[in-house]
Amino acid sequence: MKAIQHQELVTPALLIRAEAMARNRQRMTQAMSKFPSVSLRPHMKAHKCGPLALLQVADGALGVCAATVDEVYVAASAGVKDILLSNELATLAAVKRFVKIAAEFSQAKLRICVDSVGLIRLLKEAGAAAVNVGVLIEVDVGHHRCGCHPDQVVALAQAISEAGLSFDGIQCYQGKLQHIRDRDARRDAVMASAVAVAKLSKQKLLDAGIECNIVTGGGTGTFTVEAGSGVFTEVQPGSYLFMDVDYGKNPDTPFESSLFVLATIISIDSTRSWAVIDAGHKAVTMDSGPPAVVGHAETVQYTSGGDEHGILSTGNVGDLPVEFEVGKQLWLVPGHCDPTVNLYSTVHVMTEDGKSE
């Protein structure tokens, strides 16, 4: 821990504003307090960071979701006691690594999602039962990505039990719904897909005499809908810690930006029509739209200048803000926080009076 000023950083650099992140954590605690029977299981794919996972557990989270075996390892190493790999694995090498982590961190409860018998067989072959791995069935609730059809849930649950594994419940997550801008339309879509399919799938299990203890899903844009549905037992928001331009377009969000890419203007053209910053494809992602420049979000557009450069312009000749000079540092709000965090090996946590790494 060393307090340094952001001016001392070689940019592009990834920074968290500590006070803003703390406010987001408080807002999440407050939001979840309305659903006392539903647990918070934040998705660590947003931050990939053991200390932040521990902060979330300290806030009252049951544990975390992870998207990769590496993230499971990071969470287990940090001391998180309940970790859901909210995705499928499909090779024996990957499943063995997951089971090895479960064996190494036996004080942690590890769970994994399956949507076909193939992974159930791999889990059996890798000895998952002996290390107390729990299994959830992922159901396709409309994203058409991973997940089985609700009609397959009972057979898969039976296959899990026959393999000597513990069937713990279902995952019903739909990423695309998180970003429907209108609150009512978003709620209706969640009720019609994630909630309806979760209810249907759970009922099929109950009808077959199979317990379904966990129903998990929901993200930063929708978690209050899932939490209030009466069927979900836990929710998986991750982006709420940081937020981004894309989530910021949901008008009803209570969360604020706490994650920034610090960039520096390295060149300005002689007509003052555009400025070049040192943040290109390797520093910010464009998959959910460009980053926003703090203080100029309405007027200055970011366009890609390639791997290492971003181009800032208002679109008008000679119309660059007067304070834009070579050497000026700018704060960018990432278009999409998760893949932007993924570009960095270090994040700097900054308090209002300085900064600690």
Give the tokens for residue 112.
Answer: 């994994």
Minimum separation from the CB atom of position 106 to its own copies (A): 21
Asked if 175 interacts with its own copies (CB under 8 A), we say yes
Asked if 188 interacts with its own copies (CB under 8 A), we say no
- Classify burial at 27, counting beta carbons within 10 Å of its beta carbon; exposed 0-12, middle 13-18, buried 19 or more: middle
Asked if 281 interacts with its own copies (CB under 8 A), we say yes
Which DSSP string do the residues of 30-79 spell out, in sequence order? Answer: HHHTT-TTSEE--BGGGT--HHHHHHHHHTT-S-EEESSHHHHHHHHHHT
Q: Which of residues 71-90 bind its own copies (CB under 8 A)?
A: 87-90
A 10 A CB-CB count for 132 gives 15
> For residue 174, what are the contacts with CB-CB under 8 A and spacing of at least 6?
141, 142, 143, 190, 193, 194, 217, 222
Asked if 206 interacts with its own copies (CB under 8 A), we say no
Asked if 348 interacts with its own copies (CB under 8 A), we say no
Q: How many CA atoms lie within 13 A of 239 on its CB side?
A: 28
Q: Which range, of 112-120, 228-236, 242-250, 315-323, touches its own copies by CB under 8 A? A: 112-120
Asked if 274 interacts with its own copies (CB under 8 A), we say yes
Minimum separation from the CB atom of position 53 to its own copies (A): 17
Asked if 261 interacts with its own copies (CB under 8 A), we say no
Asked if 145 interacts with its own copies (CB under 8 A), we say yes
Q: What is residue 114's DSSP assignment?
A: E
d(CA 91, CA 237): 28
Return the residue of 62, 69, 160, 194 that touches its own copies, per CB under 8 A: 69
Asked if 282 interacts with its own copies (CB under 8 A), we say yes
Asked if 250 interacts with its own copies (CB under 8 A), we say no
Asked if 323 interacts with its own copies (CB under 8 A), we say no
Give the tokens for residue 107.
Answer: 């004080």
Asked if 116 interacts with its own copies (CB under 8 A), we say yes
- Determine which helix (DSSP H) or strand (DSSP E) holds 227, and give its type and residue range: helix 223-227
Task: List residues binding its own copies (CB under 8 A).
Answer: 7-11, 45, 67-69, 87-91, 93-94, 97, 115-116, 118-119, 122, 140, 144-149, 152, 175, 264-270, 274, 276, 278, 281-282, 285-287, 304-309, 311, 325-327, 329, 336, 338-339, 342-343, 345
